[in-house]
């Protein structure tokens, strides 16, 4: 089983409108509600790839009850969200059908008490012991959770000998990297904030020196760059894709984590992650992809780089 952690889980609501115009009323043509937050998007893609996934994090209030109910409909996904008194947040994505652009509105998460955080840590450590093959720590921290939370969770995974991938930003990323995760996956902006460098080659090397075993940087339309002990590679999609980018990074995380569990070499990990990310952009809803689109892209992803000399 693969474990994904979403401390700031959400109920994702997607509206499609013919065209989004500021200061105007809009007729919504389609509404989609589904469990959301980065780790839940990762779980959905992992399940679509054939992996059994357990999801954990926090859920509370009326929105949390809807989240639990929707998770029962997700095949291969086990719900281990920890109850809290506060209300789970909602995120609203408004998709302009004319341009394909998406406008995102994100509510803050529930305030987490020290007792709720302690209960989560106990549950998380128990899940690690239940034959977890790998764990993904994803997304922002809700109010009340210590800024060093991901560093704590990385250390717990390492103590349990479970490979851990970290995908967050800001101070939580800086502290988490220092705890030595197996993989850290920042985007270009997060990488620059972490290292102070806007040059991807230099920034990925700097990020790895800060503690991560491997750094995989999302470079938008230019794909992924990985700096690892085994070598350095870059993978790019065969064509530039248009659509809804929400969830594309989460699909890349699912690609990396599934390939790690399956024991694939780094070039094939990156190819899978890039193909899944691009296929997700072409899908109107985060965490979904058309298998035929993914397979077509996977066959055409370009991977360059070289292994480290023995």
Active site residues per annotation:
250
Q: From CA 240, how far away is CA 278, in angstroms rounded?
A: 8
Neighbours of 137 (CB within 10 A): 28
The count of C-alpha atoms lying within 13 angstroms of the C-alpha of 225, restricted to the half-sphere facing its C-beta, is 18
Angstrom CA distances, 126 to 40, 121, 122, 131, 191, stand at 19, 9, 6, 10, 32
For residue 173 the two structure tokens come to 């990323």
As given in the structure block, the two tokens for residue 304 are 């360059």
Q: Which residues pair with residue 73 across a beta bridge? A: none
- Which of 10, 6, 4, 116 is CA-nearest to residue 63? 10
Asked if 134 contacts 261 with a C-beta cutoff of 8 angstroms, the reply is yes
**Cβ(233)–Cβ(226) under 8 Å?**
yes
- Asked if residue 208 lies in contact with residue 226, where contact means CB atoms within 8 angstroms, the answer is no
Quote the distance between the C-alpha of residue 221 and its chain's center.
17
Closest to 145 (Cα-Cα) out of 184, 165, 178, 171: 171
């Amino acid at each position: 089983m693969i474990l994904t952690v979403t401390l700031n889980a959400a109920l994702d609501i997607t509206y499609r409108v013919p065209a989004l115009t500021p200061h105007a009323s809009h007729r919504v043509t389609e509404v989609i509600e589904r469990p959301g937050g980065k780790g839940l998007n990762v779980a959905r893609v992992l399940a679509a790839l054939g992996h059994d996934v357990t999801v954990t994090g926090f859920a509370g209030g009326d929105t949390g009850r809807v989240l639990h109910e929707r998770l029962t409909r997700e095949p291969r996904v086990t719900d281990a969200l920890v109850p809290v008194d506060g209300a789970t947040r909602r995120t609203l994505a408004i998709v302009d059908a004319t341009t394909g652009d998406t406008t995102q509105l994100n509510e803050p998460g529930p305030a987490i008490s020290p007792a709720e955080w302690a209960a989560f840590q106990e549950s998380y450590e128990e899940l690690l012991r239940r034959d977890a093959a790998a764990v993904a720590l994803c997304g922002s921290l809700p109010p009340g959770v210590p800024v060093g939370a991901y560093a704590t969770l990385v250390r717990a995974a390492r103590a349990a000998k479970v490979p851990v991938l970290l995908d967050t930003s800001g101070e939580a990323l800086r502290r988490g990297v220092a705890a030595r995760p197996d993989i850290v996956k920042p985007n270009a902006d997060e990488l620059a904030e972490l290292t102070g460098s806007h040059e991807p080659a230099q920034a990925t090397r700097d990020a790895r020196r800060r503690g991560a075993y491997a750094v995989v940087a999302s470079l938008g339309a230019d794909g992924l760059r990985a700096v690892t002990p085994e070598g350095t590679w870059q993978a790019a999609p065969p064509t530039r894709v248009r659509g809804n980018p929400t969830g594309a990074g989460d699909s890349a995380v699912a690609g990396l984590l599934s390939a790690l569990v399956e024991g694939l070499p780094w070039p094939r990990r990156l190819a899978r992650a890039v193909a899944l990310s691009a296929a997700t952009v072409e899908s109107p809803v985060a965490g979904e992809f058309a298998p035929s689109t993914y397979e077509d892209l996977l066959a055409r992803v370009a991977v360059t780089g070289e292994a480290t000399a023995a």
